[in-house]
């Protein structure tokens, strides 16, 4: 409750009206959640805090995070709130805020909310002494569904016609809306992971555990499978044989489709430094520029807006299509991916082969990244030389744990294993040589 009070004070401003509110009127917030059990009481606390600060609340109920972002803008709300822990286990939960238009809050605004929450700043009620009103708004789910279908353009009702699909909703926020969207676009859909009990979200299913989807696709003789995470802001796919497609491969399909249609702004796509070397090769062959950012969708989003690009994303399947959405949207991405594949007469396996994926090895070395010395640069240079220009090397301190994350990509899996092993030894040596840096 205290967090929502602090957020209301910052996002509405001390003067009493939110960014979109008329002078003298109460600001409006939309609130949605995923189905994990703790979301019920967290939602109650968030709503109570907002209403106590004079904010009118539209309760959306269980809805994907990107759906809340979209409705924040579509309903001209002053801000949006999502209660979700995304791809994490049911025991976890979190609270995310969107600003006007459904965009993520800038870091300085989040910092300001933290200051308000700590009690370091005295706040005043957003709308004088009035309390906000709370309204049920689950009917607005239809507005979001209509938006997803409209983004397919002409022929939307048959965009996926002829496709037999399995969709895994991770017992999460998309369990109702994703199968409906795919069916409205013309697909024959078998849905799994659509029985949330508050405790089974992401449990052995969804985009973090593709085995269940792969098995179901083979069992049902489907053309492809789609998996979302708990809040459906990302998606991954599998082909008819159950082989996975990651976010880089999905981006390859979307980028080349937009390029051929003359709709790829700046003829460029934004990805993180974790992107596969095969993606870079595919983009070079297609005449598409690749813009790299640090890891994290907020960095991708910022680079897209700064550079005027419309497409970007991560290997995890978090894809941003600014032509249609302000943030990553797994259901939107799956519709666009499947429509592109269907339009071109490709199988999902054919689509995967558009990008020659390099074997990739990841390894974490325990330690404080600030202790890494100058010898690391030499070790990275040696690793890159071993790859002969046909691969990628990345060493970065974790932003959440006392670990150094290593990544090596190479055309040969054995070489990738060898290089990352030697690189890990070099990192450990650096940490031992500089224990107090």
Is 297 within the bounds of a domain?
Answer: yes
**pLDDT in the model for residue 297:** 86
Is 198 within the bounds of a domain?
Answer: yes
Same domain, 34 and 162: no
- Crossing angle (nearest 10°) for helices 330-343 and 247-260: 60
Q: Would you call 305 exposed, middle or buried from its count of C-beta atoms within 10 A (0-12, 13-18, 19+)?
A: middle
**pLDDT in the model for residue 124:** 53
Same domain, 53 and 95: yes
Residue 191 reports pLDDT greater than 80 = yes
> What percent of the chain stands above pLDDT 70?
94
Strand partners, 61: 32
Same domain, 213 and 275: yes
Residues 167-173, mean pLDDT to the nearest whole number: 98
Q: Residue 431 is inside which H or E element, if any?
A: helix 413-433
Q: Among the options 84, 86, 275, 334, which is catalytic?
A: 86
What are the structure tokens assigned to 229, written together?
């995470």
- Quick one: pLDDT band at residue 130, thresholds 50, 70, 90? confident
Cβ atoms 173, 136 nearer than 8 A:
no
- Quick one: pLDDT band at residue 262, thresholds 50, 70, 90? very high
Is 145 within the bounds of a domain?
Answer: no
How far apart, in whole angstroms, are the C-alpha atoms of residue 85 and residue 94? 5
Non-local CB neighbours of 243 within 8 Å, separated by 6+ positions? 214, 349, 352
Angle at 27 between CA 26 and CA 29, to 5 degrees: 135
Q: Tell me: the pLDDT tens digits for 9-56?
A: 999 874 333 444 455 589 999 999 999 999 999 999 999 999 999 999
Is 324 within the bounds of a domain?
Answer: yes
Residue 198 reports pLDDT greater than 70 = yes
**pLDDT in the model for residue 16:** 36
Residues 415-431, mean pLDDT to the nearest whole number: 91
Is 273 within the bounds of a domain?
Answer: yes
Same domain, 330 and 397: no
Q: Tell me: the pLDDT tens digits for 75-101?
A: 999 999 999 999 999 999 999 999 999
Non-local CB neighbours of 80 within 8 Å, separated by 6+ positions? 29, 30, 31, 32, 68, 69, 71, 72, 97, 98, 102
Q: Residue 396 is inside which H or E element, if any?
A: strand 391-397
Which CATH number is 19's domain given?
A: 3.40.120.10
How far apart, in whole angstroms, are the C-alpha atoms of residue 339 and residue 322? 18
Cβ atoms 358, 367 nearer than 8 A:
no
**pLDDT in the model for residue 17:** 37
Summarize the chain as % helix, strand, coil (round to 5).
40, 20, 40
Is 43 within the bounds of a domain?
Answer: yes
Is 370 within the bounds of a domain?
Answer: yes
Strand partners, 393: 408
Top-ranked range on mean pLDDT: pick from 124-133, 165-174, 294-303: 165-174
How far apart, in whole angstroms, are the C-alpha atoms of residue 210 and residue 189? 17
Cβ atoms 43, 1 nearer than 8 A:
no
Same domain, 313 and 426: no
The number of folded domains in the chain is 3
Q: Does the annotation mark 86 as catalytic?
A: yes
Nearest to 35 by CA among 303, 220, 231: 231
Q: How would you classify the pairing of strands 134-136 and 79-83?
A: unpaired
Last residue of a domain, one of 108, 140, 172: 140
Same domain, 277 and 208: yes
Same domain, 30 and 168: no
Same domain, 260 and 118: no
Is 146 within the bounds of a domain?
Answer: no
Residues 137-160, mean pLDDT to the nearest whole number: 95
Lowest mean pLDDT among 35-44, 113-122, 156-165, 197-206: 113-122
Q: Tell me: the pLDDT tens digits for 225-237?
A: 999 999 999 999 9
CB atoms within 10 A of CB 48: 16
User: Both ends of the chain: CA-CA distance in Å?
Assistant: 41
Cβ atoms 313, 320 nearer than 8 A:
yes
pTM of the model: 0.90
Last residue of a domain, one of 299, 323, 352: 352
Lowest mean pLDDT among 18-27, 43-52, 132-141, 160-169: 18-27
Non-local CB neighbours of 74 within 8 Å, separated by 6+ positions? 143, 144, 147
Residues 152-156, mean pLDDT to the nearest whole number: 89
Cβ atoms 123, 6 nearer than 8 A:
yes
Q: How would you classify the pairing of strands 319-321 and 134-136?
A: unpaired
Give the domain range for residue 425: 360-433
Same domain, 280 and 411: no
Same domain, 101 and 184: no
What are the structure tokens assigned to 397, written together?
């301190």
Same domain, 223 and 291: yes
Last residue of a domain, one of 352, 368, 387: 352
Which CATH number is 377's domain given?
A: 3.30.310.50
How far apart, in whole angstroms, are the C-alpha atoms of residue 374 and residue 370? 11
Same domain, 83 and 162: no
Residues 63-68, mean pLDDT to the nearest whole number: 98
**pLDDT in the model for residue 371:** 66
């Amino acid at each position: 409750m205290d967090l929502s009070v602090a957020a209301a004070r910052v996002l509405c401003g001390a003067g009493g009206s939110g960014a979109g509110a008329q002078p003298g009127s109460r600001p409006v917030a939309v609130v949605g959640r995923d189905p994990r059990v703790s979301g019920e009481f967290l939602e109650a606390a968030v709503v109570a805090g907002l209403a106590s600060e004079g904010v009118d609340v539209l309760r959306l109920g269980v809805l994907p995070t990107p759906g809340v972002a979209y409705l924040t803008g579509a309903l001209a709300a002053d801000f949006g709130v999502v209660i979700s822990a995304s791809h994490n286990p049911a025991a976890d939960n979190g609270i995310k805020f969107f600003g006007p238009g459904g965009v993520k809050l800038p870091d300085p605004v989040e910092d300001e909310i933290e200051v308000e929450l700590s009690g370091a700043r005295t706040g005043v009620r957003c709308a004088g002494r009035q309390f906000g009103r709370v309204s049920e708004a689950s009917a607005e789910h239809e507005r979001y569904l209509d938006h997803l279908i409209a983004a397919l353009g002409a022929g939307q009702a048959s965009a996926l016609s002829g496709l037999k699909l399995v969709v895994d909703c991770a017992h999460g926020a998309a369990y109702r809306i994703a199968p409906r969207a795919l069916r409205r676009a013309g697909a024959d859909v078998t849905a799994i992971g659509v029985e949330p009990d508050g405790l089974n979200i992401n449990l052995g299913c969804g985009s973090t555990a593709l085995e269940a989807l792969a098995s179901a696709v083979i069992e049902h003789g489907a053309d492809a499978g789609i998996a979302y995470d708990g809040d459906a802001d990302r998606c991954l796919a599998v082909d008819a044989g159950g082989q996975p497609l990651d976010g880089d491969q999905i981006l390859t399909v979307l980028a080349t489709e937009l390029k051929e249609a003359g709709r790829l702004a700046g003829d460029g796509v934004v990805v993180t430094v974790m992107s596969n070397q095969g993606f870079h090769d595919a983009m070079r062959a297609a005449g598409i520029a690749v813009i790299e950012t640090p890891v994290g969708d907020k960095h991708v989003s910022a680079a897209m807006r700064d550079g005027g690009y419309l497409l970007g994303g991560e290997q995890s399947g978090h894809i941003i299509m600014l032509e249609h959405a302000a943030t990553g949207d797994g259901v939107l991405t799956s519709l666009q991916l499947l429509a592109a594949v269907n339009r071109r007469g490709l199988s999902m396996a054919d689509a995967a082969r558009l990008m020659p994926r390099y074997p990739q090895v990841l390894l974490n070395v325990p330690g404080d990244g600030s202790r890494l010395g100058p010898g690391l640069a030499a070790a990275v240079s040696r690793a890159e030389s071993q790859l002969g220009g046909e691969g990628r090397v990345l060493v970065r301190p974790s932003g959440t744990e006392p670990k150094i994350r290593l990544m090596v990509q190479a055309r040969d899996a054995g070489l990738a294993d060898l290089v990352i092993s030697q690189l890990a030894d070099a990192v450990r040596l650096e940490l031992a040589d500089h224990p107090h840096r």
